[in-house]
Amino acid sequence: MPEITNSVEPISVEVANLVKRFGDFVAVDQINLEVRKGEVFGFIGPNGAGKSTTIRMLCGLLKPTSGRAMVAGFDVSKNPEAVRQNIGYMSQKFSLYNDLTVIENLRLFAGLYSVPQNILQSRIEWALTMANLKGQENLITGTLPGGWKQRLALGCAVLHKPPVIFLDEPTSGVDPITRRQFWDLIHQMAEEGVTVFVTTHYMEEAEYCNRLALIFRGKIVALGTPTELKRDSMKGELLLVECAPLGAAVEALQSAPGVMDAAVFGNALHLVVEDAATAMPLLQKFLVDRKIAVSRMEKIRPSLEDVFVSLTTGRDTEERKP
Amino acid sequence: MFGRLKQMLIKEFIQVFRDKRTRFILIGPPIIQMMVFGYAANYEIRHVPTVVLDLDHSQESRELVSRFTSSLYFDVQRQLTDSRQLGDLIERGDATVGLEIDAGFAQKLRSGQTAPLQVIVDATNSNTALIASGYISQIAQGFAAQYQRDRINRIAPQLIEVMPQVELAPRPWYNPDLSSRWFFVPGIIGSLTLVLVITLTAFAVVREREIGTLEQMMVTPIRPAEFILGKTLPFFLIGIFDVTLIAVVGSLWFQVPFRGHVSVLALGAVLFILCMLGVGLLISTISATQQQAMVTSFFFIMPAITFSGFGFPISTMPHWMQLFSYVIPLRYFLIVIRGTYLKGVGMDILWPQMAAMAGLGVALLTVSILRFHKALD
């Protein structure tokens, strides 16, 4: 890996105009991004948006149709073998060998990554400790609970200390506590200088990332830190409305003047409006006219989910217009 | 390179020997097939259930029937009195052959006329019927010849001197007792290796694709060639193991003679197993799930065994089907097996078969490896 001495952290993943087509279908459409060393970079988007296709290209599993991607200093199309030696990969589907024991899986992957004999034992010990599987070495992997398997998969992916790791929906199907512990591990590794590229569709997980790219229909529609996205990417402003009855209110508000979107969030409504200050008195009157009791109405800061929904539904309606 | 390959092999062997089912597959089917083909599969016919309707009750008719009774091929179970009984017994399947001697049989013989022997054969199994008819005509002709000689001897003994005779002197080479077992048991080496190596290889690769471990492997620095070698080498060794097992049991238990050189059979087995690994890999590249792999294997295995000459002679197939059999590796391997076992011939005779298998093996492996690479994208 080329050493870059710079005040800023070096770039470990660089993607320029990357395109992947399957026949007529454009799965990934001209995406550009840069991830720096030690960053936790989140890739979020609905199913089928192109997240996994992008990760698979970055790991050298798929050949890009056009464009360029550099991972850990190597071009994925020209030098996929060097890329593979320098990355760890964990897919959404648990894919270690279920009929091998914990230690056999670790030894297998250590061998495949050519971890030198003299540090092999200490790396395996380290992975066992990290995955909290000490003392469970001889269990058959298939019998482990989901969370343990996930940690073992991570352990196998990082045995060779790769500078970059790719995690494709690593926490799907894992309980919230295990998920939280898993993210602690990810941050720990990032602090040690490992670049983590992770896809997810859990919004609360997106908050744990240093930076995010939101991908929708193969295109990156927003890119920035979670704070930046919440501040800048929302079209319009967000209002929280507590009122009764909720059902009638949401139906009426869908077609109210100035309301771009209305949705139920728990026992309140979230409304997207152009400008909160002008909209509030008008909406108050609109609801009262329809015999809907409003107990609270205020401008709130959008969550990532609001941003996500507004960015994607906005595009949906735009595209449906003739 | 060797480090990664070694890891693959360790993993494959752990997986094969940890799974009870796979362990059984290595030993069980070879033994079971040996028993089935060694004992049950038999073209010979013996003790064909036979009934007799003798309406003549003459010395001649009894003499003819006794020739059937004393034959090993026929088991004369009942003497009937009514021709309706005969039809009934054949229809029920209680008798396969019915012999009907009409009244006047002896009368005709004595007056030098042609006397009919009506033979009814249940030909639902055409093979049995064909062979049985052959034996029946042999017995009837033997009876007729003897009867003629006896009469001539009595009436004009001097003529006996000038009566020509042809004596048959059959010498069945390689299998003097014409035992089906000697034909089938060595053949099992071929058919069983075919089924075992193809299915094990196809399934092992498809399973990895299906559960996602193939993808996980492909993001490690392992090269496709190392992966393929790691996947196929264990099945190659298993194939060799099973060939040895069947060969040993066949020789010791069924006493099938081995007259050739072990090295010739071994070379044939190696080339044949390479072909089967190629087929297995090829099936794995066109199947996404284990179920698809199973169906595809089945579609390959059935015709491969039928066209190989394992059970049916290739020479009786229509010409265009015979052409098809030239691309079936088992066809060549069976010639090598039977050649080394029964005939005891060597490379000077079997080299065309070896060359054909080597050619097919290279072609199959090349195509399947290229396809495997493509399937990864």
pLDDT category of residue A315 using cuts at 50, 70 and 90: low
CA B151 remoteness from chain centre: 47
Query: Domain boundary residue among A201, A231, A261?
Result: A231
Residue numbers of the domain that contains A262: 235-301
Question: B31 — contact with chain A (CB < 8 Å)?
Answer: no
User: Phi and psi of B351, rounded to 5°?
Assistant: -60, -35
In this structure, are A155 and A279 located in the same domain?
no
**Is residue A90 domain-shared with residue A184, that is, in the same domain?**
yes
> A202 and A57: one domain?
yes
* Residue from B7, B211, B220 to probe the interface with A (highest A Cβ count within 10 Å): B220
Is A183 in the same domain as A296?
no
A179 and A257 share a domain?
no
Q: Are residues A264 and A187 in the same domain?
A: no
Q: Structurally, how many domains does chain A consist of?
A: 2
Indicate the DSSP class of residue A101. Answer: B
Chain B residues closer than 8 Å to A172 by CB: none
Give pLDDT tens digits for B102-115.
Answer: 999 999 998 888 99
Query: Is there a domain that residue A308 lies in?
Result: no
Residues of B in contact with A106 (CB under 8 A): none
ipTM associated with this complex = 0.81
A288 domain-assigned: yes
Whether A59 maps to a domain, the answer reads yes
CA distance B109 to B60: 9
My answer on whether A248 and A219 are in the same domain is no
A97 in contact with B, Cβ within 8 Å: yes
Structural domain includes residue A316: no
Both A242 and A111 in a single domain? no
Examine the domain organization and report whether A121 and A151 are in the same domain.
yes
Q: What is the pTM assigned to this prediction?
A: 0.81
Q: Is residue A73 part of a domain?
A: yes
Cβ atoms of residues B122 and B93 within 8 Å: yes
A281 and A296 share one domain: yes
Say if A319 falls within a structural domain.
no
- A168 plus A258 within the same structural domain: no
Measured in degrees and rounded to the nearest 5, phi and psi for residue B343 equal -85, -25
Considering only CB atoms, A89 lies closest to which of B211, B219, B223, namely B219
A205, A181 Cβ separation under 8 angstroms: no
Taking chain B (377 residues) in runs of 10, the rounded mean pLDDT of each run is 87 90 86 84 84 93 93 90 90 93 92 91 90 93 91 85 82 87 89 91 91 90 90 93 90 90 95 96 91 93 91 90 92 95 94 97 93 74
**Which whole number is the average pLDDT over A226-242?**
85
On whether any CB of chain B is under 8 Å from the CB of A161, the answer is: no
Q: Does A252 fall in a domain? A: yes
What b/e readout covers B81-94, taking b as 16+ CB neighbours within 10 angstroms?
Answer: eeeeebeebbeeee
- Using the beta-carbon criterion (under 8 Å), do B15 and A84 form an inter-chain contact? no
What's the CATH number where A279 sits?
A: 3.30.70.100
How much is the pLDDT for A73? 92
- Final residue of a structural domain among A204, A231, A258: A231
Same domain as A252, residue A173: no
A38-75 pLDDT per residue, tens: 999 999 988 888 898 999 899 988 889 999 999 999 99
